[in-house]
Amino acid sequence: MLNQLRVDELLAAVGAKTPAPASGAATALTAALAAALAELGARYAGDEDDARRAHALAGELVELGDADTAAYAAFMANRSEETLAEAVRIPAEIARLADEAVELAERAETRVSRAVAGDARAAVELGRAAAAVARSLAELNQAQLNGAES
């Protein structure tokens, strides 16, 4: 769904007064942008293996944005331990993949011209931010899950 929206539609969807898409989807897409910039850096660095992995990460992260939207909607419809557990798992996976994008971007940053190093640095910073937010979302959801189990 997210990859089928125009940017203005995506922004409207995230800004709407609805439970989802919201921060989880936005975080996944931020991490996907980081992965795309890491891909750019890797291509300029001549590292096609890293470029392919970064490209795959971007796709996986967009899918996780959709999965997060669905998982949160499912949780809002049925507040069970099962639906909440999925709302914990997905942001944790977004964080893990964002960390991987950061690693790829850092590797590329040391092997490219100054002009492209800025793109790689942007990937690093976007990826770090996305990973931190995703971890925070997973922790918030985990706290709810721990409360439900008590």
30-56 pLDDT, tens digit per residue, is 999 999 999 999 999 999 999 999 999
64-97 pLDDT, tens digit per residue, is 999 999 999 999 899 899 999 999 999 999 999 9
pTM higher than the cut 0.85:
yes
| CATH architecture under which domain 2-149 falls | Up-down Bundle (1.20)
Q: How far is CA 115 from CA 24, 31, 103, 109, in A?
A: 31, 21, 19, 10
Q: Are 71 and 26 in contact (CB under 8 A)?
A: no
Nearest Cα to Cα of residue 53 among 27, 34, 35? 35
The two three-digit tokens of residue 122, written as one number: 């942007």
Contacts of 33 (CB under 8 A, 6+ apart): 58, 126
User: Does pLDDT of 25 surpass 70?
Assistant: yes
97-119 pLDDT, tens digit per residue, is 999 999 999 999 999 999 999 99
